[in-house]
Amino acid sequence: QSVLTQPPSVSGAPGQRVTISCTGSSSNIGAGYDVCWYQQLPGTAPKLLIYGNSNRPSGIPDRFSGSKSDTSASLAITGLQAEDEADYYCQSYDSSLSVVVFGGGTKLTVL
């Protein structure tokens, strides 16, 4: 059971918009700790997608955006493309556990 809760799967057609939620608690996201998002394509290492809740590293398309509110965060992907099919993970820090925590991951399927 992950400290950060994500839906196991989401799907969307090419060109559509999807969102992935990441629900935490008062000891992690709700405590003000920032959220990062990572994309993991099949058989590859995770790749940083969003940091500081809503910032994109250079090279990440603006189709990807992040937000945070209270004890939750969200990743939005607009203009879905086949190449976006991957697993997505949120990550934060938990002050009660004193560890970095990841969500369980969400598998995005592009229909």
CB 104, min distance to other proteins, A: 5
CB 91, min distance to other proteins, A: 7
**Three-class SS of 14-81:** CCCCEEEEEECCCCCHHHCCCCEEEEECCCCCCEEEEECCCECCCCCCCCEEEEEECCEEEEEECCCC
CB 43, min distance to other proteins, A: 10
Q: Which residues bind other proteins (CB under 8 A)?
A: 2, 34, 36, 38, 44-48, 51-53, 55, 57, 89, 91, 97-105
Whose Cβ is closer to other proteins: residue 100's or residue 111's?
100
